[in-house]
Amino acid sequence: MKTIKQLTLEDVKKMGAAAEAEAQKQGWAVSVAIADAGGHLLWFQRGDGAPGMSATIAPDKARTSALSGRASQDLEDMVNNGRTAALSMPIVPLGGGLPIVVDGVVIGGIGVSGVLPHQDAQVAEAGVKALS
């Protein structure tokens, strides 16, 4: 049997606060979602002024990264480079989602939506770094 770490409510609150702080520092209105390893939503926040669609997209990005173990930007790049069959997978191939990896194991994903993909990823990265 393997022992696998799991995200706690305290962990996701800490990550969410760090992501929110980064977004506010940059003046970005975003939604942030954190999912467990199965892609199930653990934490969500839609910032003031964040686009309505971001409330749907951020959890989808978190799920995508949790289930694939990859940055959602990698999947967007794959589709943009012609691998359109990937669209049949249960993913949202839009940049801004990152896997949460501890001890080499994917234990969840964080997704951010509301600004440009690299900006979403910057906010997500701040959340992931809060775990270390």
**Domains of the chain (ranges plus CATH)?**
9-129 (3.30.450.150)
Residues 4/38, Cβ–Cβ less than 8 Å: no
Verdict on whether the full-model pTM lies above 0.85: yes
> What does the pLDDT average to over 102-120?
97
Per-residue pLDDT tens over the stretch 12-28: 999 999 999 999 999 99
Per-residue pLDDT tens over the stretch 8-65: 999 999 999 999 999 999 999 999 999 999 999 999 999 999 999 999 999 999 999 9
Give every CB contact of residue 53 below 8 A, 6+ residues apart in sequence.
113
